[in-house]
Structure 1
């Protein structure tokens, strides 16, 4: 099937109209529905974001991205990371660099939140930036392992990490960010507590799904206490993990509700539901994706994410290749039906900093399909 010029124009206008609407997240008004997904870049030697990082984010804000979620930034705990080139969200020089990023994004008309991150058992002994720090996790287990290779966290460890997230969030508000995102997805520390595959604890932090949310809920509550009431707190989570794409926190909507309810009660304002392909239904018997179920169960605003733009679906649809038009209609139908509130775009924005502007102005013919080999720079 092909589409006529008139049909393409109408579809482009619909996309621009739906995506250009502002949205309110607690006390923050985001100018449109396009978010930039967090993507690790390792371009910050010493954990300090420099002028190139400032330009990287400001360029995308100037080109129409409404909400930027930064790459993952390590909180102030020695075991949080595994690279000295990933930015940190603690330390005088590091925070000064991030303050410049926030200022530039605001000057370009965008909004921005840092993603706060602790990798947990993904860390190897001896990794930078603090090589003497041990790998820690709820049970000292890596994904897929049956024998601990790290240290099971003590109550002191738990309290220290909770405090590190809260301190980072407080710093984010102080230096001018618009909110924070807590990284609770993809098999990193917070997710290691949420998932039974890596959480074998028998104390208050392990056992049934509600108990496994306690660590995450304590982080959310501590963050909420240290920031102002209107400051948005976003929580990113996923079913899938690194090296375990079929892993699931919840097999049914009821199990998902049990996991999300304590987080919402602790103070989450927005959920960021990470899937690998946004169009896939999450549970049998419903077309709702993970973000849609999250919004239905919690009533909170939700960000959806997962391969938007990677196959060139937008561009192909508006060049008359009708096979891709259904994919675009699917995304916009879901957005129009309030299945989710924002659409996060990742790698397509790495390739093309002007991606959001082209979509918002109907310049779909200028969109090129994403090709990993074409990413010669991440500027």
Structure 2
């Protein structure tokens, strides 16, 4: 029987991964309110490493203490106390044979904390807060339009956090440029009404993402893997698509590649990959990203189904596949795939951090 392509090795930047199975970033809101990773979090990430995933991406981690935090119990990496907690997580993953990337996240207008927010423009976000993340209910605040100084401060936060991540032993960092958070707010036409160099054309709207990547690259050096997660859809707007279609996507992909990204992680939100991947007849978002950038591309959305992941990888639509809920149900997905084991069904109770992954004992 031929090996599933998800189980073959791949390189991102200067790092060789043993397979193409990635744990997608998933908000777990598992700290005690101080942003410090806990022993329970170390066990959680360790289980994916024991399960054989080639790369584990952390939940979005806030990058400054002024405006970036999204949820009350979200982890951060802005202090030595945060770094010490993350070192224990990294050590647990490495001891189990895994590799782990820190996702760098700035919430922008989608913060659920009870404090002022900033965004590219003073545009009230669509939708409402998500009580499951612990930040209450009701509409989001209308953000203040970020000043040039605040933009520079946000970029510096991404860079400083990336440097701390490398020092803490992480194997890569990933800029969260998706799902409606700050980087995506700059990219998106209806949340970015600026008339300066950060607004207007899609090239200008992608400028903030490019500046973040350049600053992160300078902070971690040329060999350390740096990725960026992008999406058309958002946590507060499942229907959004880039209005410029293929042309807009080409500009965005070209901008982040030129700024120093080593890989692109293309995500769906509320829809699976098959539903959201088509930019035009015969043109998928993942294949276009590969053609424009020449970089490895991670596909996310329903990839836990081996029969769906196989043609994407073998047909050159993507280079890696990221699993979210499928990984929660099957933290040993690569091992099950290799051994022909039966995959477990996802249960919504698994979204609660207190529930043991897959309802099973910790892997040994």
Check whether TM > 0.5.
Answer: yes
**In structure 2, which of residues 150, 157, 166 is the aligned counterpart of residue 173 of structure 1?**
166
- The answer to whether the 8 A contact 2:328-2:350 is kept is no
1:156-178 Cα deviation digits (max 9, x unpaired)? 00000000000001111111111
> 1:105: Cα distance to partner?
1.0
Q: Given the alignment of the two structures, is residue 242 of structure 1 paired with residue 252 of structure 2, yes or no? A: no
> 1:115: Cα distance to partner?
0.5
- The answer to whether the 8 A contact 1:269-1:300 is kept is yes
Instruction: Work out the CA distance in 2 between the residues paired with 1:198 and 1:22.
Output: 39
**In structure 2, which of residues 20, 23, 27 is the aligned counterpart of residue 36 of structure 1?**
23
- The answer to whether the 8 A contact 2:117-2:141 is kept is no
The aligned counterpart of 2:322 is: 344
Unaligned residue ranges in structure 2 (runs of 5+): 128-139, 358-364
> 1:224: Cα distance to partner?
0.7
The aligned counterpart of 2:11 is: 24
> 1:117: Cα distance to partner?
0.4
What secondary structure does 1:80 align onto?
coil
The aligned counterpart of 1:292 is: 287
1:193-232 Cα deviation digits (max 9, x unpaired)? 0000100001111000000011111100001111121111
> 1:76: Cα distance to partner?
1.5
1:253-288 Cα deviation digits (max 9, x unpaired)? 2221111111111101100000231223412321x4
* RMSD value, Cα: 1.9
Q: Given the alignment of the two structures, is residue 370 of structure 1 paired with residue 352 of structure 2, yes or no? A: no
- The answer to whether the 8 A contact 2:350-2:356 is kept is no
1:300-327 Cα deviation digits (max 9, x unpaired)? 1111000223xxx45xxxxxxxxxxxxx
> 1:373: Cα distance to partner?
4.2
**In structure 1, which of residues 48, 61, 64 is the aligned counterpart of residue 49 of structure 2?**
61
> 1:375: Cα distance to partner?
5.6
Moved more, 227-236 or 248-257: 248-257
The aligned counterpart of 1:252 is: 245
Q: Given the alignment of the two structures, is residue 97 of structure 1 paired with residue 85 of structure 2, yes or no? A: yes
> 1:103: Cα distance to partner?
1.5
Q: Given the alignment of the two structures, is residue 218 of structure 1 paired with residue 211 of structure 2, yes or no? A: yes
Unaligned residue ranges in structure 1 (runs of 5+): 1-9, 315-327
Instruction: Work out the CA distance in 2 between the residues paired with 1:35 and 1:122.
Output: 26
The aligned counterpart of 1:356 is: 334
The aligned counterpart of 1:317 is: none
> 1:82: Cα distance to partner?
3.5
Moved more, 345-354 or 44-53: 345-354
- The answer to whether the 8 A contact 2:71-2:111 is kept is no
Instruction: Work out the CA distance in 2 between the residues paired with 1:120 and 1:38.
Output: 18
Q: Given the alignment of the two structures, is residue 139 of structure 1 paired with residue 115 of structure 2, yes or no? A: no
- The answer to whether the 8 A contact 1:169-1:223 is kept is yes
Instruction: Work out the CA distance in 2 between the residues paired with 1:158 and 1:332.
Output: 41
Instruction: Work out the CA distance in 2 between the residues paired with 1:337 and 1:185.
Output: 25
- The answer to whether the 8 A contact 1:193-1:215 is kept is yes
Instruction: Work out the CA distance in 1 between the residues paired with 2:21 and 2:243.
Output: 27
Moved more, 157-166 or 335-344: 335-344
What secondary structure does 1:47 align onto?
coil
Moved more, 56-65 or 250-259: 250-259
- The answer to whether the 8 A contact 1:48-1:88 is kept is yes
Larger radius of gyration: 1
The aligned counterpart of 2:224 is: 231
1:139-168 Cα deviation digits (max 9, x unpaired)? 0223339x9822100000000000000000
What secondary structure does 1:283 align onto?
strand
Instruction: Work out the CA distance in 2 between the residues paired with 1:342 and 1:205.
Output: 31
1:104-128 Cα deviation digits (max 9, x unpaired)? 111111111110101110125xx2x
> 1:353: Cα distance to partner?
2.0
Instruction: Work out the CA distance in 1 between the residues paired with 2:290 and 2:6.
Output: 18
Q: Between Structure 1 and Structure 2, how many residues are aligned?
A: 339
Q: Given the alignment of the two structures, is residue 152 of structure 1 paired with residue 149 of structure 2, yes or no? A: no
